[in-house]
């Protein structure tokens, strides 16, 4: 590859520092950062020469338009919005995701959510709005502390592993469920010092098929699964009934994994003690959604992965993979179109 130019097209705006970091990998790199709002309007000559595409998935061209394309990197961890695009199935093209990139901030968000639920924060926020001092506070505000509690992580990928790592100092029992329990280690991209690449932070590992058996022992349940045909509507009425009475739910993955009417029923009946949702079936969440009215539910607008360092983290992963690409090595986070992630 020393004698040929490596044409990279980024349809994501990059800072000068990020551009320099990518270009410094090899002198053969030619990086075109096109800040056009509509990537579909890029000239054919730009697409024709592109070998590597760095994108947020807002637009993917046809295979005919990109005859030299060999690698697509998606700036998001989830690829559910582009997984059906024919380009991902085209011969000679590898697609990678940004799984593992945003795990630090998402881990912190989840710890925050667990603490808020366990310490009855929704009830106290409501009282504050009503300018009410909770007289029966010693009865109604008894906390469920993380120390001594059991947290179930549904989906032990990069996010779930970072949650387990951050939970470790709390003295929490961590149960985890994943598709392939025969391989507890993680060979995907993990920033140094984060996550659980060797599988050291869980106490028991369950196959997804045994999820209901795991849920009955959990004080808190965190959903970090990718959205696929198999995971959609996974948390339905039957699954909520299997959860421990008074337990709490946090979902930061994708909205369609949770049956929202079934969740509302579980919250309204008191079977669940509360929930935090960062993702929804429809986003933005419509003002008419009954979810807004649930007193023991905290709603956030799909921001668990947000960080001022987010794009720097994406570029760090992209650079690591770019080095591997130039050496002919296997890339981190290759997407399996059949599995859906």
Mean pLDDT by runs of 10 across the 341 residues of the chain is 83 97 98 85 95 94 97 95 96 97 97 98 95 94 97 97 98 96 92 96 97 98 96 98 98 98 98 98 98 97 96 98 98 95 93
The phi-psi region of residue 31 (left if phi > 0; otherwise alpha if psi is between -120 and 50; otherwise beta) is: beta
Q: Side by side, which strands form the sheet with 6-10?
A: 29-33, 6-10, 52-55, 71-74, 94-96
Please tell me the distance from the alpha carbon of residue 66 to that of residue 84, in angstroms, as a whole number: 18
Q: Which two tokens stand for residue 293?
A: 């009215």
Domains and CATH numbers, the chain: 6-101+308-327 (3.40.50.720), 103-299 (3.40.50.720)
Task: Answer whether 149's CB lies under 8 Å from 139's CB.
Answer: no
Task: Answer whether 256's CB lies under 8 Å from 190's CB.
Answer: no
Residue closest to 153 by CA, chosen among 94, 225, 83, 105:
225
Q: Would you say the C-alpha torsion 222, 302, 15, 96 has a positive or negative sign?
A: positive
* pLDDT at residue 58, as a whole number: 85
Sequence-distant (6+) residues with CB within 8 A of 131 are: none
Q: Cβ atoms within 10 A of the Cβ of 233, count?
A: 12
Q: Is the peptide bond before 306 cis (omega within 30 degrees of 0)?
A: no
* pLDDT at residue 36, as a whole number: 67
DSSP string, 14-35: --HHHHHHHHTT-TTEEEEE--
Please tell me the distance from the alpha carbon of residue 323 to that of residue 49, in angstroms, as a whole number: 20
Strand partners, 150: 173
Which pTM does this prediction carry? 0.94
Q: Which two tokens stand for residue 14?
A: 């990059």
Sequence-distant (6+) residues with CB within 8 A of 52 are: 6, 7, 8, 9, 69, 70, 71, 72, 73, 322, 325
| DSSP E strands, the chain | 6-10, 29-33, 52-55, 71-74, 94-96, 150-154, 173-178, 204-207, 220-223, 247-251, 272-277, 297-299
Q: How far, CA to CA in Å, does 180 sit from each of 151, 195, 207, 229, 283?
A: 20, 18, 7, 17, 31
Q: Cβ atoms within 10 A of the Cβ of 132, count?
A: 10
Would you tell me the crossing angle of helices 16-23 and 310-327 to the nearest 10 degrees? Answer: 10
Residue closest to 266 by CA, chosen among 286, 285, 247:
247
Q: Which two tokens stand for residue 325?
A: 């690409």
Rg (CA), the chain: 22
Please tell me the distance from the alpha carbon of residue 216 to that of residue 239, in angstroms, as a whole number: 10
Phi, psi of 214 (to 5 degrees): -75, -40
The distance in angstroms from the start CA to the end CA of the chain is 29
């Amino acid at each position: 590859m020393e004698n040929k130019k490596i044409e990279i097209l980024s349809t994501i705006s990059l800072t000068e520092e990020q551009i320099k970091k990518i270009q410094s990998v090899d002198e053969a790199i030619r990086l075109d950062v096109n800040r056009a709002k509509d990537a579909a309007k890029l000239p054919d000559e730009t697409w024709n020469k592109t070998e590597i595409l760095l994108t947020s998935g807002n637009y993917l061209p046809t295979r005919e338009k990109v005859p030299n394309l060999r690698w697509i990197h998606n700036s998001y961890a989830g690829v559910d919005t582009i997984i059906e695009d024919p380009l991902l199935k085209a011969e000679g093209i590898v697609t990678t995701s940004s799984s593992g990139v945003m795990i630090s901030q998402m881990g912190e968000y989840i710890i925050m959510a667990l603490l808020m639920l366990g310490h009855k924060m929704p009830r106290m926020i409501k009282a504050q709005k009503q300018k009410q001092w909770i007289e029966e506070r010693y009865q109604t505000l008894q906390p469920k502390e993380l120390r001594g509690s059991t947290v179930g992580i549904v989906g032990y990928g990069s996010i779930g592993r970072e949650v387990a790592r951050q939970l470790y100092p709390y003295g929490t029992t961590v149960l985890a469920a994943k598709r392939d329990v025969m391989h507890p280690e993680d060979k995907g991209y993990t920033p140094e010092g984060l996550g659980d690449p060797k599988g050291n932070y869980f106490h028991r590992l369950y196959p997804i098929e045994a999820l209901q058996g795991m849920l009955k022992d959990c004080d808190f349940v965190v959903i970090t699964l990718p959205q696929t045909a198999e995971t959609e509507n996974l948390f339905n009425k039957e699954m909520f009934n299997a959860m421990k009475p008074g337990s709490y739910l946090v979902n930061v993955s994708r909205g369609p994994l949770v049956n929202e009417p079934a969740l509302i029923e579980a919250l309204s009946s008191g079977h669940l003690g509360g929930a935090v949702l960062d993702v929804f079936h429809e986003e933005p969440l419509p003002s008419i959604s009954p979810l807004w009215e649930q007193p023991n539910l905290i709603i956030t607008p799909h921001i668990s992965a947000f960080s001022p360092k987010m794009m720097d983290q994406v570029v760090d992963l992209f650079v690591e993979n770019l080095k591997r690409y130039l050496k002919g090595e296997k890339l981190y986070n290759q997407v399996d179109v059949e599995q859906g992630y």
